[in-house]
Amino acid sequence: MLDLALIRSKPDEVKAGLQRKGVPPEAVEAILAVDESWRRAVAESDQLKSQRNEASRQIGALKKAGQDTEPAQAEVRVLGDRIKALEDTAA
């Protein structure tokens, strides 16, 4: 089994080794493309979670002040939906 870190750091060597075993080099490119897509989805999801947490803190402050929280709650719902979509993509 190949370590993903090895594939990322030395893709040409991995391609050569796999080619000797009869595996087409395009397999490495496909793995790297999926890995990059997954990494982007995870990074965006983490960023959105941070935004959601900040918005949730703001909702608490608004409630404490007796102000309307519906716009902030709508934003949190949108962020939650986007996070769910990203997590489904990354899975």
Q: Hey, what's the torsion of the CAs at 47, 49, 53, 56, to 10 degrees? A: 120
- pLDDT bin (cut points 50, 70, 90) of residue 2 is confident
DSSP H stretches of helix in the chain:
4-9, 11-20, 26-64, 70-90
Whole-angstrom distance, CA of residue 91 vs CA of residue 78: 20
If you count them, how many residues does the chain have?
91
For residue 22, report the phi and psi dihedrals to the nearest 5 degrees: 90, 10
Residue 4 neighbours by CB under 8 Å, 6+ apart: 31, 35
pLDDT higher than threshold 90 for residue 77: yes
* Full-model pTM: 0.77
